[in-house]
Amino acid sequence: APSVTTTSDTVGPRTPPYAKILDRLSRVRKILGSGRPLTLAEKILYSHLDKPEESLLNGTANGKDIRGLANLKLKPDRVAMQDASAQMALLQFMSCRLPSTAVPASIHCDHMIVGERGADTDLPSSIQGNKEIFDFLESAAKRYGIEFWPPGAGIIHQTVLENYAAPGLMMLGTDSHTPNAGGLGAIAIGVGGADAVDALVDAPWELKAPKILGVELTGILNGWASPKDVILKLAGLLTVRGGTGFVVEYFGEGVHNLSCTGMATICNMGAEIGATTSLFPYTASMERYLKSTSRGSIAEKVSRIASATAAQNLLAADPGSEYDEHIAMDLSLLEPHINGPFTPDLSTPLSKFKEAVQVNHWPHEFNAGLIGSCTNSSYQDMTRAEDLVKQASAAGLRPKADFFITPGSEQIRATLERDSTLSTFSSVGGVILANACGPCIGSWKRTDGVSKGETNAILTSYNRNFRGRNDGNPSTMNFLASPEIVTAMAYSGSTSFNPMTDAIMTESGDEFHFQPPKGIELPLEGFAQGNTHFFPISKSADPSHPVKISPSSERLAALEPFDPFPGHDLKDLRVLYKVKGQCTTDTISAAGPWLKYKGHLPNISANTLIGAINASTGETNVAYDHFDPETPKSGIPELAEKWKAQGHNWLVVAEDNYGEGSAREHAALQPRYLGGKIILAKSFARIHETNLKKQGIVPLTFADKTDYDLIDACDQVSTVGLYDMLQNGGRGNVVLNVKKPNGDKIDIQTKHTISKDQAGFILAGSALNLLAKTKKP
């Protein structure tokens, strides 16, 4: 299996640098004093500080008030990038002109593979359709010494879990579900490409010290309840904003009753509550997982660390450590949940779901059940689903809904094939898709005749369910559940069916009841090797290797640096659009068919904000230009393009949690490219707010959220104090002087979270502009 290659690494070790991390931990303890207990997240994060004294003692951080206040400057151990976001990350890295990456890194070709009829036909056609991109990524990997996982090798987070994640590791990933690796005790944070470039060039990566939300687990899962239900329930309790600014740290005796892959599922979906990351302390199930994925030597090392004295134990919270928030959950009492539609925090216990379907007039039937993905394709998940299929097959039943299975990696696929799990699924009409994202990221060609705009429902074991996410159809209601619940419900095809209590009629007229699923944590014979074709390409940097970008390409374009900030405040910016309601990174930079332009900023900018609802009219992607009586109405990107050509810079006004959902930096790059200077919102999602600053856009929040009502599209805005604030390293606030079309003027007070370094990025035009100046080859 790919993990077998660990002993012949050529592009960086897979064992975290434990000696260095532990040494740093003792330094941190000296700085903070021995009486200060540390949570697990604090231990791993602070042990990766570039200069611990500077981060922990300076400014507001005085060794005590660190969380929520200190700016941590971190040196991660590793970077992972998926194919869609890797393009822009690499284009940015290339412009720094360094010979190789400073830390081990990997590229995973997963997002650009379509799911339609099954892996055998979908994979070759997707490779053909994206050849230019995969060639570019592979060539850049060879040039800079990055490990390259070809299309079909697997989904980034599953591959990372199987090969790179390890207790105590700190890594960045250019994908919002990077926290999946927290299931194996790592601090793994989803970031944009520009942040990844920090780590790749050995510049410290900055993070506001997160607060810690402790989730105390007791008891043991039983029956139908699965790890997925832990996070589905938590999402309901905390909402999509509840984890913002927090690391979710699990503890308590219940953590020792979970499988490692189950903990990864829980951490994966921590992204849905906006958490910086999530993680678990070291457990025996992690040791078993490391050993079964050919990493026995790492298991030995971490077992020694975990049994060290409390002061040296990097892999669990100190006794008496304090959490900023605390939630308790008894796994023994947990019931399955179904979340959705359209938002992952609309959480309904299975026993109440039938009623919710009726009350909300959700469709009574669903068309497709999709299981697997990076969230839920472990051996345990799949064997539990298999058990249900076998039960139903014995009663002569077949799924009524279409049934799709996405293995997370070639390793898990080959193992499930060897152990006949996949043939069990295929025998009832299940379609085995490629080891890739496919329908989870909108690369799903539905063949069931549902047309765009048609209301319908699907059930998935994925993690995200924003409108249009899976099939580009905003009327598709995507409900999230565990693979077990999705599989069992696929047999009735009804959203009102409760597999724990309800019966399905067999052809002979008997009532069939599912029994609670039984699965196997890890394959008894170990993991299978899989097809060698999908093994990673792992070579040292070769400065003579050409990076393939065609000058005539429509999909790849080298980056032009953005202009620096003018030497004064901004005058007469126009409000391009006032967004109503939720504005995710999907809203700002849609995925699906647009994924193919990820490496071409001018071309992908044509999708900017096309999902945004106009606060005045309720229309989607309809902007009005009051300055142009002849053609006042257009799409948002068209208006931005027009104003750019006319030399008018602009800003966007939005509501809460602007940019939630993913690390997609295109959502910052595109507005910047089209002339956006400021985003004024009620609040921001953390990753997106950082991305904006890195690309030279100023994110401001209303000091008084009700001021949102005072500003409208086509108002003109001048800043007061912005230039001074940037020059003063982020100190001071900004007032917006708003001029209405009738000449009225109002002032809006704002707040911001711009640090000294980030002020430098904005002044330079972007973080990359600043890096290119300071990092000489």
For the annotated catalytic residues, the residue numbers are 110-111, 175, 464, 662, 664
User: Which distant-in-sequence residues (6+ apart) come within 8 Å of 30 by Cβ?
Assistant: none
Verify binding: residue 598, ligand F3S, rule CB under 6 A: no
Verify binding: residue 177, ligand F3S, rule CB under 6 A: yes
Minimum distance of ligand F3S from residue 157's CB (angstroms) = 6
Instruction: Judge contact between 496 and 476, C-beta under 8 A.
Output: no
- CA 270 – CA 276 distance, rounded (Å): 8
Nearer CB in complex with ligand F3S: 14/177: 177
What's the count of helices (H) and strands (E) in the chain, helices before strands? 25, 30
- Candidate list 40, 264, 440, 640; residue touching ligand F3S; CB under 6 A: 440
Nearer CB in complex with ligand F3S: 147/586: 586
Minimum distance of ligand F3S from residue 379's CB (angstroms) = 17
Nearer CB in complex with ligand F3S: 84/654: 84
Verify binding: residue 660, ligand F3S, rule CB under 6 A: no
Q: Are strands 368-372 and 456-460 parallel, antiparallel or unpaired?
A: parallel
Q: Identity (one letter) of the amino acid at 393? A: S
Q: Which tokens in the block code for residue 326?
A: 């605390």
Minimum distance of ligand F3S from residue 288's CB (angstroms) = 24
Verify binding: residue 401, ligand F3S, rule CB under 6 A: no
Backbone angles phi, psi at 760, to 5 degrees: -65, -40
User: Which distant-in-sequence residues (6+ apart) come within 8 Å of 415 by Cβ?
Assistant: 379, 523, 527, 528
Nearer CB in complex with ligand F3S: 178/607: 178
User: Which distant-in-sequence residues (6+ apart) come within 8 Å of 270 by Cβ?
Assistant: 179, 182, 231, 243, 248, 277, 278
Minimum distance of ligand F3S from residue 437's CB (angstroms) = 3
Verify binding: residue 155, ligand F3S, rule CB under 6 A: yes
Query: Where does this chain touch ligand F3S (CB under 6 A) — which range of 245-253, 435-443, 537-545, 723-731?
Result: 435-443
Verify binding: residue 700, ligand F3S, rule CB under 6 A: no
Verify binding: residue 441, ligand F3S, rule CB under 6 A: yes
Verify binding: residue 400, ligand F3S, rule CB under 6 A: no
- Candidate list 79, 248, 368, 437; residue touching ligand F3S; CB under 6 A: 437
- CA 657 – CA 696 distance, rounded (Å): 19
Minimum distance of ligand F3S from residue 344's CB (angstroms) = 11
Distances (CA, A) of 243 to 189, 220, 423: 14, 24, 40
Q: Identity (one letter) of the amino acid at 407? A: P
Verify binding: residue 752, ligand F3S, rule CB under 6 A: no
∠ at Cα 55 (186, 157), nearest 5°?
A: 20
Rg (C-alpha) for the chain, rounded Å, is 25
Minimum distance of ligand F3S from residue 621's CB (angstroms) = 23
Find tokens 């999402």 and name the residue. 235
Strand, helix or coil for residue 205: strand
User: Which distant-in-sequence residues (6+ apart) come within 8 Å of 677 by Cβ?
Assistant: 570, 573, 649, 650, 651, 697, 698
- CA 247 – CA 212 distance, rounded (Å): 5
Nearer CB in complex with ligand F3S: 85/695: 85
Distances (CA, A) of 277 to 462, 658, 741: 18, 19, 44
Nearer CB in complex with ligand F3S: 463/492: 463
Report the candidate in 544, 483, 424 with the shortest Cα–Cα distance to residue 261. Answer: 483
- Show contacts with ligand F3S in window 100-129 (CB under 6 A): 110-111
Nearer CB in complex with ligand F3S: 436/736: 436
Nearer CB in complex with ligand F3S: 32/155: 155
Verify binding: residue 463, ligand F3S, rule CB under 6 A: yes
Verify binding: residue 228, ligand F3S, rule CB under 6 A: no
Q: Which tokens in the block code for residue 770?
A: 């600043």
In the shown chain, the binding pattern of residues 514 to 553 toward ligand F3S, with x for contact by CB under 6 A and - for none, equals: ----------------------------------------
Verify binding: residue 156, ligand F3S, rule CB under 6 A: yes
Query: Where does this chain touch ligand F3S (CB under 6 A) — which range of 45-53, 433-441, 646-654, 696-704?
Result: 433-441
Find tokens 């299981």 and name the residue. 371
- Candidate list 373, 378, 495, 683; residue touching ligand F3S; CB under 6 A: 373
Verify binding: residue 157, ligand F3S, rule CB under 6 A: yes
Strand, helix or coil for residue 98: coil
Query: Where does this chain touch ligand F3S (CB under 6 A) — which range of 6-14, 181-189, 437-445, 765-773?
Result: 437-445
Find tokens 């002061």 and name the residue. 311
Nearer CB in complex with ligand F3S: 587/621: 587
Over the range 184-197, which residues count as b (16 or more CB within 10 Å of their CB) and which as e?
Answer: bbbbbbbbbbbbbb
Residues that bind ligand F3S (CB under 6 A): 110-111, 155-157, 175, 177, 373-374, 437, 440-441, 462-464
